Structure 1
Amino acid sequence: MNDVTELLLRHRSVRSFKPDAVSDDMLETIVRCAQMASTSSNVQAYTVIAVTNPETKRALSVVAGNQRHVEQCPVLLVWCADLSRDRLACANEGVTMVSGTMENFIVATVDVALAAQNAAVAAESLGLGIVYIGGLRNDLREVTRLLNVPELVYPIFGMCLGYPEGPSGVRPRLPLRAVLHREAYDAGVYAAAVAEYDKTMREYYLERTKGKRDTTWSKEMADKFGRPARAYVRDYLEEQGFRFD
């Protein structure tokens, strides 16, 4: 163990923030750390929009399902997959960019996720807290309008950023054997590992909510994946130029 591994193992989502501002220097350091994440072929297919305007944060909080921390946090980072600069680079060389492929969509999506996670770790190392906001995908057209997002760019998630207001718990993860397979995929471990995790999560939720929430991981996953969600997203992505030829 070292300082980095201990920091990573302490990660928790923060949903209550002090009003203290995040300095420009700190924000720029965090984004510079994001830029040092691995990127496919040096494409760097991401952009982050730092939102501090209260009215804009309020509007984005509504999109995200009225999550109050989106409005409360000092800075909301909106992470976008972005191929627009790459199209410009191609044009500089007299080449028409072939953007509408599944491979390019995957490259851009993975690039922004890697960069954002670098930023999350950097922020936590500086004493800040974060929570990802996937709820922005509830209405990406409205996010696009609010933030003036151009073609070949799409917002993937937000990230609340600020100084934590009070402690928050570390949510248990799946048993390691459910995630780490050696030499080949082994689905045979799942039944026992998921049963163990269901028990762990039930106890966690009961303790965290003082008995008000009695559920398991399996029940949560059944609720999440048992019905379609955000079915409009494919149409939106094609509107933004991410066609899946």
Structure 2
Amino acid sequence: MSEHADALATRFGDGGPDGGDIEPNAFLRGVLSRKTVRRYSDRMPEEGLLDLLVACALSASAKSDFQQASVMRVRDADKRVAIGRLFPSMPWIAASPVFFVFLGDARRLQRIGELRGKPVKNGTLEGFFNASVDAALALQTMILCAESSGLGTCPISVIRNEIDTVAKVLELPDMVFPVAGLCLGYPAAEGHVSLRLPRSITTHVDRYGDDALPAALDDYDRRRHARHAIPKEQQRGNAEFGEAEFYGWSEDKARQAAKAEGAAFPPYLRAHGFSFD
């Protein structure tokens, strides 16, 4: 059995590859075992550590070295409360010791073009996509580096659902938009390792195929339900879809996706510098 077999079994439980003879690696094990944390102690991380984590985040890969991610730390208590009030089911937004917002920053490259006398139009679909990916890479880099330092994190993508208010609170200019927030602090309670989909349907070699999806989903739903079942009172959309006798992950996510989120995001972007041409 490999040194990572137990972590792989906890994360996937799919009977897939167990890491073979790979040498023990603390970072890999940490990634496999990572947890989302929503309850934090009152202990504030040191400023030097936070500065280092921001530097690590901004060291992430960037499309063509354009560097279209920006990181905003929200320290103002009124701003924190204003954002948290939008999402009452997520009190950790206002309560976590530290809250960052990761921004897709298509503005900076366009300004650089203006400063250097070059006609850069960065409000295209490509510009939006590149800035979004840069910000997402920076976000994930900070998550992994923070967790390796003993901190817990919880990414907050729902802020895009209230983009008009969030952008006003954060005083964002045109062509700068939030990709996600990030709660950060020392954990006050253990989270759990979320069981991931079997690798047989999420990894491919040479060609994409999803013929095995129905059977694999059924198996995954049963295994995940056995580990962390969704309580009946948390079933989504029962008025529309009815109460399910068995409510697995795929039923939950199908119901969630059927109610489209982020309707305000595209019109906001179009009104603030993006044409998507």
- Check whether TM > 0.5: yes
Q: After TM superposition, give the deviation of residue 75 of structure 1 in Å.
A: 0.8
Query: Which runs of no fewer than 5 residues in structure 1 stay unpaired?
Result: none
CA contact (8 A) 1:129 1:162 kept: yes
Deviations 1:141-191 (A, max 9, x none): 111111111111001111000000021111100011111111110111212
Alpha-carbon distance in structure 2 between the residues aligned to 1:33 and 1:193:
37
Q: After TM superposition, give the deviation of residue 212 of structure 1 in Å.
A: 6.5
Alpha-carbon distance in structure 1 between the residues aligned to 2:86 and 2:179:
13
Please name the residue that 1:179 is paired with: 202
What percent of counterpart residues are identical? 30
Say whether residues 1:204 and 2:236 are aligned partners.
Answer: no
Q: After TM superposition, give the deviation of residue 64 of structure 1 in Å.
A: 3.1
Q: Identify which range, 8-17 or 217-226, moves more after superposition.
A: 217-226
Say whether residues 1:47 and 2:64 are aligned partners.
Answer: no
Alignment of 1:1-245 (within 5 A): 1-206=24-229, 215-245=247-277
Alpha-carbon distance in structure 1 between the residues aligned to 2:57 and 2:118:
29
Alpha-carbon distance in structure 1 between the residues aligned to 2:212 and 2:37:
32
SS of 1:187 mapped into structure 2: coil
Q: After TM superposition, give the deviation of residue 88 of structure 1 in Å.
A: 2.1
Q: After TM superposition, give the deviation of residue 65 of structure 1 in Å.
A: 4.2
Letter of the 1:33 partner, please give it: C
Alpha-carbon distance in structure 2 between the residues aligned to 1:79 and 1:89:
21
Q: When the two structures are superposed, what TM-score results if normalisation uses the length of structure 2?
A: 0.83
Letter of the 2:62 partner, please give it: T
CA contact (8 A) 1:201 1:215 kept: no
CA contact (8 A) 1:129 1:164 kept: yes
Q: How large is the Cα RMSD of the aligned pairs?
A: 1.6
Query: Which runs of no fewer than 5 residues in structure 2 stay unpaired?
Result: 1-23, 235-245
Letter of the 1:164 partner, please give it: P
Letter of the 2:128 partner, please give it: F
Deviations 1:106-141 (A, max 9, x none): 101111001110000000011000001112112111
Q: After TM superposition, give the deviation of residue 198 of structure 1 in Å.
A: 0.8
1:144–1:212 Cα change, 3 Å: closer
Letter of the 1:95 partner, please give it: K
**Structure number, greater radius of gyration:** 2
Alpha-carbon distance in structure 1 between the residues aligned to 2:169 and 2:233:
37
Please name the residue that 2:9 is paired with: none
CA contact (8 A) 1:136 1:157 kept: yes
SS of 1:198 mapped into structure 2: helix
Alpha-carbon distance in structure 2 between the residues aligned to 1:85 and 1:222:
38
